[in-house]
Every structure is written in structure tokens, then in C-alpha cells.
Amino acid sequence: MLHIDYRDSRPIYEQIVDGFTRLAISAVLTPDTQLPSVRQLAIELSINPNTIQRAYTELEKRGVTYSIKGRGSFISADCDTLRQTRLAELQADITSLAHEARQLGATDTMLLHWMQVQHTKEGGQP
Amino acid sequence: MLHIDYRDSRPIYEQIVDGFTRLAISAVLTPDTQLPSVRQLAIELSINPNTIQRAYTELEKRGVTYSIKGRGSFISADCDTLRQTRLAELQADITSLAHEARQLGATDTMLLHWMQVQHTKEGGQP
Amino acid sequence: MLHIDYRDSRPIYEQIVDGFTRLAISAVLTPDTQLPSVRQLAIELSINPNTIQRAYTELEKRGVTYSIKGRGSFISADCDTLRQTRLAELQADITSLAHEARQLGATDTMLLHWMQVQHTKEGGQP
Amino acid sequence: MLHIDYRDSRPIYEQIVDGFTRLAISAVLTPDTQLPSVRQLAIELSINPNTIQRAYTELEKRGVTYSIKGRGSFISADCDTLRQTRLAELQADITSLAHEARQLGATDTMLLHWMQVQHTKEGGQP
DNA sequence: GTGGTCTAGACCACG
DNA sequence: GTGGTCTAGACCACT
């Protein structure tokens, strides 16, 4: 269900947070779907339950999930909101990188090619 | 000469590396220009000399500078190469981010707007 | 009869306690009205009977209900007392919060506005 | 410097977060003031360093502090912003409580008295 | 020395 | 059984 890369420099709990966030954004996990329990996922991934707990706490604080003591953790309802949030982040990043690239001599044509934009005249998306 | 932001979460040595790299890329520092000595820069920025040394070592490892024993550190000649290296990095990042954004529903029009591309062609989206 | 919100962070038994307390305070449930049996309410709400039992025990401890062995639980007679008790709690909370707000620079006008008090008197603030 | 109440039901790390937040809001701790180190505070309060670390992480995430690896944690600059944030919280709480109190029969006069508002005709704040 | 992450194991409240 | 908190001790990167 989740892929953890131990060689990745990013902390494990962050990879778990990202993983579930992606699953929620892409609607693979629909609202009110129950996540695996802290202990179960810990065993499954051979990771300390504390680390899983930290990831779940973070997910709840970000509004991706909600949890009920004694019952479990569940995907939150606002899936589309997450999409918008992520898109806003992407916009900020892309704008910044494009600005730097342009300062280094990149042309519009290069940028369009990098982003694989269909630049036919009245072109839509096939 | 260099701007260090102590509140930045990035380590100081990395900020120094980035700073000199940018100066070299933008040709503010031309090839064979001598960098300030470790001790001098340490005093100037009120930073531990160890941190400066680490940055200089990193800069040399990346090929941005070269050093001569007993003389000091100097900007390398391959300024344009640095540009290309950085552009390659930017291309990889932008392509990846654009791909994700498109999967989340971003349209070509949105991407073009984010990158502030001059729309020379009148192509819209149906 | 009762509304349970599974996404609420508050434990279910507390929501039940609050629910019956509100019904008693607002006189929807008059004194000596019998509460549903533990088993019946458990089935009705699809909740573990242990949880209901805990709520009922808590209600009795707080004096909202009384119970007779073999008969069931009933609303206590002191409905107005509950009102006064709750009002006393509210007074304590409001006084404390108002004090803190004032220390942070809130003016009387702001406080009145927050509480939506009808300004019968034309007193403003210089 | 900080007061921890072990009998308080609130978790220790939250008490620490609140404590430093209050000190920052009330300008007892001015921007860029260094907080005690994780280990030092842990010894001082006889609390596990992990718990302190959790509090410090939370403080940083809330924007109350910023931290530099290898140097320490420091109070953030936006002291007035914190005030506004807290006031918004207080407004929400007071409005809600006042609403409930009114439903239970509290009069404007009672509310004004609870909040110790000077309700003289043109009264300001002495 | 500093903050940040992780493991191991315990206890609690809740269902 | 569940999530949430805490302790104890370790390792890492950074200054």
C-alpha cells in the first residue's frame, strides 16, 4: 500500500504522510476509509509504532485524516480541497523555478518543451 | 558580498555554497577570482571557521572552485558549465512538477500563466 | 433523540452525557422521565453497551439522573439547578476569557460586539 | 520560567507550548531571544528531552519560534500577529459561550457584569 | 554543544 | 482492540 525508501534522506514519518496524502488526493482512498491501525502498519512496514503515530498525528493536523480514540484513523472528506492546496504549492514552486531558469538564459520555447505543453496553434489537450 | 539568513532552515554552509555558486554562475565572480580566505570570511560573517571550511570544501568538490595550497581558493573556469548543470537540474524539477500538476487537473493555460510565458500564439483551450 | 458525531474528537460517552444534560436543562426531558435502557440505546445508536453504561453512570454521578435497580434511569427533579450549575460554569469561563482578551488589548466595545449585546445605552468609547 | 502542572489533564508538551506562546505574546520574551536548549530545559523541569523536543517542534510549526540546527531555538519576530491570532480564538470562544448562556436565561446585564464591563453612560476605560 | 529523527517499551483513556 | 502520551536511550547532521 505504501512505499518507504530507507535510503531517502527525508524522514520516514514524512514519507508516510506524503504517501497517504497522495492516496487521498488521487481518490484511491475515499473519505471515511479506515487507515491501517498504528500497530498493524508498524508491523507491516517493520517500523516503530511511534514513528507511525507521529505520521498519523501529522496527517490529522493537516486535515487529511481524522481519528477517533479506540476506533481508528479515517480519511477526511475534503479531498478536492487537498487537490487545491497541492496545486497552490506546485504553482509557487514552478513559478520560482521558471523565473530562475529564465535568468539563466532559458527561453520560452525551452520551458514549454520541458513542461511538454502542446503548443500547436489552437491546440487543446488530446 | 554574501547574504546569510540565520532564520533559514537550510544549514549555513549550504547557504554559503549556494551564494558563491550563484555569483559564479551569474559571472559576478569571474574565473580565477580569489575567494576571501576562510578566516577572513569567518570574521566578516561572524561564523565559525569550520563552517566556512566545510562550504569551501563542498564548493571545490562540486567543481565551482579550485584551491592551491598556501594560496587560497579561486573560481573555476567552467562558468558556462555551471549554468548548464543548473539548467539541467531545473529542467528535471520543472518537468516533474508540471507532470504532477497536470495529473491534478492543471491545464496548459494554467501552466503557461504560472510560468508567465508570453503568449505569442493565440492558442486557447476549448 | 440524540445526535452522535463520530468525527467529533470528544469521546462518545461524553457526547451522550452532554446530550441528555442539554435535554434535561432545556426541559425537553422533564423530571422522572425514563431514559431508554442501556441495551436499547446501544442498539439504537449502534454503540457498545459499555459506552452507554459509562455515560449513564456519569450522568448519575453528576446528579442529572437517578437510577432504580431493576427499573431503569430517570431524569432528576432538579432541572433548574442544572441550569444554575451550567450558568456558573459559563460565568467562570466568560470572565476568564474576557480578562485575557482585555489584557491583549481588546476594548469594551469589541467585547460587547462579540457577545452581540444590544446597546440600549449610547455609551461609546473615547 | 515555566510552570508545569503534572495534575493537569493536558499533556505536558502542550503546557510548554502554551507557556512559551504566552511569554512571546506578552513580550516577556522578545524576538530572537534564545530559548533554553532541549536538554537543559529537560533537566530543569525533570522531563524527558523527547517531550521538550515535541513542544519545540510544535512551537516552530505554529510560527512562535524558529530553530537553527546546532545553534538553538529562538522567538520569532511576529509577536503582534500572535496577539491577533489569540484574540480571534478568544472571540470565537466568548461568542459561543455567550450564546449558550443567553439560551439558558442569562440577561445582557448579567453578561456585562461577568465581563466586568464599565457600563456607565459614556464610560471609557479608566 | 545544538536540534531532529528513530527505536523500544510502557501506561492511559476509549470502545 | 484503538489512538495518545511519556520515558529512556541512541544516532545523525550541523556549529
Name the strand (E) or helix (H) holding D72. Answer: strand D72-75
Q: For residue C122, what pLDDT is reported?
A: 47
Q: For residue A121, what pLDDT is reported?
A: 46
Q: How many helices (H) and strands (E) does chain A have?
A: 5, 2
Q: C-alpha grid cell for residue A121?
A: 496553434
What is the spatial distance between Cα C11 and Cα C33, in angstroms, rounded to a whole number? 25
Q: Contacts from C86-90 at CB under 8 Å and sequence distance 24+?
A: C86/C21, C86/C25, C86/D104, C87/D101, C87/D104, C87/D105, C87/D106, C90/D97, C90/D100, C90/D101, C90/D104, C90/D106
Asked if A126 has any chain B CB less than 8 Å from its own CB, the reply is: no
B125, pLDDT greater than 50: no
Whether A39 sits with its Cβ under 7 A from any strand F atom: the answer reads yes
Q: For residue A15, what pLDDT is reported?
A: 92
Whether A17 sits with its Cβ under 7 A from any strand F atom: the answer reads no
Mean pLDDT calculated for residue range B2-16: 87
Residues in D closer than 8 angstroms to B11, CB to CB, are 69-70
Q: C-alpha grid cell for residue C71?
A: 427499573
What is the chain B residue with the closest CA to D31? B7
Query: Are residues C6 and A68, on separate chains, in Cβ contact within 8 Å?
Result: yes
For residue D124, what is the DSSP state?
-
Q: Counting beta carbons within 10 angstroms of the beta carbon of residue C74, is it exposed (0 to 12), middle (13 to 18) or buried (19 or more)? A: middle
Q: For residue D42, what pLDDT is reported?
A: 93
Query: Are residues C107 and D115, on separate chains, in Cβ contact within 8 Å?
Result: no
CA at D71, C1' at F13: how many angstroms apart?
12
Q: Mind telling me how many Å the CA of A78 is from chain B's nearest CA?
A: 15
Asked if C11 has any chain A CB less than 8 Å from its own CB, the reply is: yes
Mean pLDDT calculated for residue range A70-92: 89
What is the spatial distance between Cα C8 and Cα B82, in angstroms, rounded to a whole number? 55
CA at A42, C1' at E9: how many angstroms apart?
14
Torsion of CA C17, C20, C22, C26, to 10 degrees: -160
Asked if D66 has any chain B CB less than 8 Å from its own CB, the reply is: yes
Beta bridge partners of B66: B74
At B25, which amino acid appears?
Answer: I
Question: What is the distance, to the nearest Å, from the Cα of residue B25 to the centroid of all Cα atoms in its chain?
Answer: 8
D94, pLDDT greater than 50: yes
Strands (E), C27-94: 65-68, 72-75
What is the spatial distance between Cα B85 and Cα B76, in angstroms, rounded to a whole number? 14
Q: For residue A124, what pLDDT is reported?
A: 43
Residue pLDDT, tens place only, B99-115? 999 989 999 999 999 98
Chains contacting D with at least 3 CB pairs below 8 Å? B, C
What is the spatial distance between Cα B80 and Cα A105, in angstroms, rounded to a whole number? 11
Q: For residue A118, what pLDDT is reported?
A: 67
Mean pLDDT calculated for residue range D28-36: 91
Query: Are residues B7 and D69, on separate chains, in Cβ contact within 8 Å?
Result: no
Residue pLDDT, tens place only, D43-83? 999 999 999 999 999 999 988 999 988 889 999 877 888 99
User: Angle CA(D36)–CA(D42)–CA(D47) in degrees, nearest 5?
Assistant: 145
Q: Mind telling me how many Å the CA of C26 is from chain A's nearest CA?
A: 29
Q: Within 10 Å of residue D86's Cβ, how many Cβ atoms?
A: 16
Asked if B46 has any chain A CB less than 8 Å from its own CB, the reply is: no
Q: Contacts from C78-81 at CB under 8 Å and sequence distance 24+?
A: C78/C31, C79/C24, C79/C25, C79/C27, C79/C30, C79/C31
Q: For residue A55, what pLDDT is reported?
A: 94
Residues 6+ apart with CB under 8 A from B126: A122, A124
Q: Within 10 Å of residue C111's Cβ, how many Cβ atoms?
A: 24
Mutation target to probe the A interface, by most A beta carbons within 10 A, among C5, C8, C9 is: C9
Name the strand (E) or helix (H) holding C39. Answer: helix C38-45
Residue with cell 566578516: B44
Asked if D122 has any chain C CB less than 8 Å from its own CB, the reply is: yes
- With b for 16 or more beta-carbon neighbours within 10 A and e for fewer, the B1-20 pattern comes to eeeeeeeeeeebbebbbebb
Asked if C47 has any chain D CB less than 8 Å from its own CB, the reply is: no
Nucleotide nearest to A66 (CA to C1'): F3
pLDDT above 90 coverage of chain A, percent: 59
Whether A85 sits with its Cβ under 7 A from any strand F atom: the answer reads no
What is the spatial distance between Cα D72 and Cα D68, in angstroms, rounded to a whole number? 6
Q: Contacts from A11-16 at CB under 8 Å and sequence distance 24+?
A: A12/A47, A12/A51, A12/A55, A13/A51, A13/A52, A13/A54, A13/A55, A13/A58, A14/A55, A14/A58, A16/A51, A16/A52, A16/A55
Chains contacting B with at least 3 CB pairs below 8 Å? A, D
Query: Are residues A66 and C11, on separate chains, in Cβ contact within 8 Å?
Result: no
What is the spatial distance between Cα A65 and Cα A82, in angstroms, rounded to a whole number? 11
**Cβ atoms of C66 and C25 closer than 8 Å:** no
CA at B56, C1' at F12: how many angstroms apart?
22
What is the spatial distance between Cα C1 and Cα C25, in angstroms, rounded to a whole number? 15
CB contacts < 8 A (B, D)? 9
At B31, which amino acid appears?
Answer: P
Give which of D53, D78, A106, D85 is closest to B91, Cα–Cα.
A106
Strands (E), A1-126: 65-68, 72-75
Whether A51 sits with its Cβ under 7 A from any strand F atom: the answer reads no
What is the spatial distance between Cα A92 and Cα C36, in angstroms, rounded to a whole number? 57
First to last CA, chain B: 50
Beta bridge partners of C20: none
CA at A37, C1' at E9: how many angstroms apart?
18
Residue pLDDT, tens place only, B34-83? 999 999 899 888 888 999 999 999 999 888 998 888 889 999 877 788 88
Residue pLDDT, tens place only, A5-56? 888 888 999 999 999 999 999 889 998 899 999 999 999 999 999 999 999 9
Beta bridge partners of A73: A67
B116, pLDDT greater than 90: no
User: Angle CA(C72)–CA(C73)–CA(C76) in degrees, nearest 5?
Assistant: 145
Nucleotide nearest to B51 (CA to C1'): F15
Asked if B27 has any chain A CB less than 8 Å from its own CB, the reply is: no
Mean pLDDT calculated for residue range A90-111: 92
Mutation target to probe the A interface, by most A beta carbons within 10 A, among B26, B115, B117 is: B115
Residues in C closer than 8 angstroms to D25, CB to CB, are 104
In order along its 126 residues, chain C shows pLDDT tens digits of 788 888 888 899 999 999 999 999 888 898 999 999 999 999 989 889 999 999 999 999 988 999 998 899 999 877 788 899 899 999 999 999 999 999 999 999 999 999 887 655 444 444
- With b for 16 or more beta-carbon neighbours within 10 A and e for fewer, the A16-48 pattern comes to bbebbbebbbeeebeeeeebbebeebbeebebe
Sign of CA dihedral B26, B27, B28, B33: positive
What is the chain D residue with the closest CA to B8? D68
Residues 6+ apart with CB under 8 A from B107: A125, B125
